[in-house]
Amino acid sequence: MKREKVQKITSIGGQALMEGIMMRGPLRSAMGVRKSDGTIELEEVKPLDLVKKYKILKVPILRGVANMIDSLVTGNKALMRSADLAMDGEDVSEEEMTKFDKWLDKHFGDKIVNVFMTIAMIVAILFCIGVFFYVPTLLFNLLAGAFPALNEQIIWRSAFEGIIRIILFLIYMSLCTLQKDVKRVFQYHGAEHKTIFCYEKGLELTVENVRKQIRFHPRCGTSFIVLMLIVGILIGLFIPFTDVLLRSTIKILLLPVTVGIGYELIRICGRHDNAVTRIIAAPGIWMQHITTKEPEDDMIEVAIAAMKDVIPENGEDIIK
């Protein structure tokens, strides 16, 4: 798909939340959330800003890893906060709580939520490691057991593992869209992209103007993940080991390299529009057909509110 032409390129980026959007500008970050009473709540978000704090992290590749850590930590905090704001005023009544619920609330309160979230995060990380690193290598070894000649071709191994990871990612994201809450997050994701495009084209930030924009943006986190999967195929060419555990462990250890290269590529695609960058960005743009959906007008209103809150008056957000 051909990228939408813009008059300027902004450094402002965002993330979809529960009933809201976080926008990150060069001077300020903020989140806008649609509360249960219909109002929009705006709150400032404090990112880690690792690249700004430590000069060494401005070096190519390292800055990609630093920004990835920043995005994960800041994004997770914003996501949790957005859930609190979105459900504000929707407290469960005493009658709806079971005896076990009441016991947990009495003895642990909010602490139990943090415990469950930590456990869920650990389980999710272990699941991802197993599915995206261990399973593809295991499947190829099983295939190579039937066709021993495949073991002699590292290119086939790396390509097979990479394609399996991409297929698994496609299946996972497609299944996510079946959930109503996740689909709404994807709609907010679309609102974020449309609002950024509207701003980059120099148009007034109104619902009507934003609605006309496309929802596929080259600097999207989805595109970054897809690029990482593709870069992982290339890196796999330089890992000669066939043992499932050893090969998977080395790939995990090389994740910072994969992240760093992927970040530099997405950065280039976001700043330049030519035949080469369009080819690089194409797989991620295609994937955004799944991870972004057409937003409703009230979602666009939230995106506009968050966007306006982070646009600096001095124009320092515009990339020359």
Residue 151 — very low, low, confident or very high, per pLDDT cuts 50/70/90?
confident
Q: Which residue has the higher pLDDT, 297 or 129?
A: 297
CA distance 221 to 287: 11
CA distance 67 to 174: 27
Give which of 228, 191, 235 is closest to 213, Cα–Cα.
Answer: 191
User: What size, in residues, is the chain?
Assistant: 320
Q: Do 140 and 158 contact (CB within 8 A), yes or no?
A: no
Is pLDDT above 60 for 110?
A: no
Residue 276 — very low, low, confident or very high, per pLDDT cuts 50/70/90?
very high
Q: Which residue has the higher pLDDT, 177 or 98?
A: 177
Computed over every residue of the chain, the mean pLDDT equals 88
Instruction: Read off the pLDDT of each residue in 167-181 and give the average, rounded to a whole number.
Output: 92
Residue 92 — very low, low, confident or very high, per pLDDT cuts 50/70/90?
very low
- According to DSSP, the β-strands at 29-34 and 40-45 are antiparallel
Instruction: Read off the pLDDT of each residue in 88-115 and give the average, rounded to a whole number.
Output: 57
Residue 111 — very low, low, confident or very high, per pLDDT cuts 50/70/90?
low
Q: Do 282 and 181 contact (CB within 8 A), yes or no?
A: no
Predicted structure pTM score: 0.86
Secondary structure, 3-state, the chain: CCCCCCCCEECCEEEEECCEEEEECCCCEEEEEECCCCCEEEEEECCCCHHHHCHHHHCCCHHHHHHHHHHHHHHHHHHHHHHHHHCCCCCCCHHHCCHHHHHHHHHCCHHHHHHHHHHHHHHHHHHHHHHHHHHHHHHHHHHHHHCHHHHHCHHHHHHHHHHHHHHHHHHHHHHHCCCHHHHHHHHHHHHHHHHHHHHHCCCCCCHHHHHCCCCCCCCCHHHHHHHHHHHHHHHHCCCCCCCHHHHHHHHHHCHHHHHHHHHHHHHHHHHCCCHHHHHHHHHHHHHHHHHCCCCCHHHHHHHHHHHHHHCCCCCCCEEC
CA distance 21 to 94: 32
